[in-house]
Amino acid sequence: MTHATGCPVSHTDYTKESEIYGHYATLDAEREAARFHFNDTTERGFWMLTRYEDVLAGFQNHRNWTTAVRTALFPESRIPLLPQDLNGEEHQKFRRIINPFFAPAAVRRMEELAHTRCVELLEELAPKGHCNFVAEFAIRYPTDLFLVLMGLPVEDGDFFLPWTEEMFNCMLQGDLDGAEVPRQKILDYFTVAIEQRRKNPRDPAEDMVTRLVQAELDGELLSHDTILTTCMSIMLAGLDTTRSALGYIFTHLATHEDDRRILVEEPESTRDAVEEFIRLYPLVIQAGREVQESCEFEGIDMAAKDVIWLGIGSANRDPRKYDDPDTFVLGRPGINQHLAFGAGPHRCLGMHLARLELAVVLEEWHKLIPEYRIKDGAELVERGSQLTLKELELEWEV
């Protein structure tokens, strides 16, 4: 079937869960079938860009294709996000306020603590000989580091974590009403933190909430709602993604003995391995955009308000860009050009932190638990929309 423009029509519903790697297989097939598709599974439909060069061009076309739509799958999301929702100069100014907390130097300052916290969690886990990796480790660790990053007490993770879990699950299944209850609890929690920093500010160069409370945009202090939304947005963007990346990485390592042995025997290769894992298992499989002024893109006529799918998941595995793209290759040429963190002005704010977190886990885990496997009979199911493994049962000898 073809669209009126001549573009093939895709009926693939990417919000559906599948067995592990099912989404990558479909993305690969759609990319090889055609450079562009029009997907008709949502009310507005969306233009799918499937190949590396087009997806990169799409990210760079940020003046006309904006984040007025953030995900092609749920274009009407009611939850405000900052800095994601801003574009152009407004976006740049806002990013300047928070960029310093995510710069490589700031992330390096967190490194020691990242190791300490990781070892603490692993020392609790290792003697058990098994775990549900997703629930017991992969979400716990980034949540703790998020709290540290914000200058909040790490112990708050105990009650903060279940709220974030519930909210992600509802949001990513399109249940916005269900997401409202945990969202409110998180907002109340941040409200208390913001009030505390107003009364007792800390060093704004090191404490992000203090920085947000004191920051000015065009000569005015940020409103309470803006600060709240920013805290929430960083949390939403940072926790589910890191948890999900860990799930895919540890599934890979539990099933690819040779790759695991490299990490155990040559820990200096960890950073390169992290980058290749991020390329190979992109969990944010698409970024959404909305066309502001009608335009033509590579032969397709697009109208204002049309929705676009920048296909990160298919671009990262495009054989036109990477040889043998579905295989883990350490030291792969062009690895730093992958699109898992996006590109252009909205490129992931937390990418250095994400890399650090993943590298620390790989290093510390393999020191304590070098051999492990997936429990016999465990079913590996991946959520749709933004991929994650719902469960991952790992076991090891103690």
Q: Which residue, 59 or 322, has its beta carbon nearer to ligand HEM? A: 59
d(CA 64, CA 53): 18
Q: Which residue, 281 or 322, has its beta carbon nearer to ligand HEM? A: 281
Nearest distance in Å: CB 386, ligand HEM:
9
Nearest distance in Å: CB 279, ligand HEM:
10
C-alpha torsion angle, residues 300, 301, 306, 312 (rounded to 10): 20
Nearest distance in Å: CB 217, ligand HEM:
15
d(CA 34, CA 50): 8
Q: Which residue, 20 or 378, has its beta carbon nearer to ligand HEM? A: 20
Q: Which residue, 2 or 153, has its beta carbon nearer to ligand HEM? A: 153
Nearest distance in Å: CB 85, ligand HEM:
8
Q: Which residue, 182 or 238, has its beta carbon nearer to ligand HEM? A: 238
Q: Which residue, 89 or 379, has its beta carbon nearer to ligand HEM? A: 89
d(CA 313, CA 130): 31
Closest by Cα among 89, 125, 323 to 217:
89
Nearest distance in Å: CB 353, ligand HEM:
5
Nearest distance in Å: CB 237, ligand HEM:
3
Q: Which residue, 256 or 347, has its beta carbon nearer to ligand HEM? A: 347
Nearest distance in Å: CB 1, ligand HEM:
29
d(CA 301, CA 21): 33
Nearest distance in Å: CB 10, ligand HEM:
20
Q: Which residue, 95 or 224, has its beta carbon nearer to ligand HEM? A: 95
Q: Which residue, 95 or 375, has its beta carbon nearer to ligand HEM? A: 95
Q: Which residue, 62 or 130, has its beta carbon nearer to ligand HEM? A: 62
Question: How would you write the chain as a 3-class SS string?
Answer: CECCCCCEEECCCCCCCEECCHHHHHHHHHHHHCCEEEECCCCCCEEEECCHHHHHHHHHCCCCEECCCCCCCCCCCCCCCCCCCCCHHHHHHHHHHHHHHHCHHHHHHCHHHHHHHHHHHHHHHHHHCEEEHHHHHHCHHHHHHHHHHHCCCHHHHHHHHHHHHHHHHHHHCCCHHHHHHHHHHHHHHHHHHHHHHHHCCCCCCCCHHHHHHHCEECCEECCHHHHHHHHHHHHHHHHHHHHHHHHHHHHHHHHCHHHHHHHHHCHHHHHHHHHHHHHHCCCECCEEEEECCCEEECCEEECCCCEEEECHHHHCCCCCCCCCCCCCCCCCCCHHHCCCCCCHHHCCCCHHHHHHHHHHHHHHHHHHCCCCEECCCCCCEECCCECCECCCEEECCC
Nearest distance in Å: CB 392, ligand HEM:
16
Q: Which residues sit at the interface with ligand HEM, rule CB under 6 A? A: 67, 70, 83-84, 95, 146, 233-234, 237-238, 241-242, 245, 278, 283-284, 287, 312, 340-342, 346, 348-350, 353-354
* Contact predicate 101/208, CB 8 Å: yes
Nearest distance in Å: CB 236, ligand HEM:
8
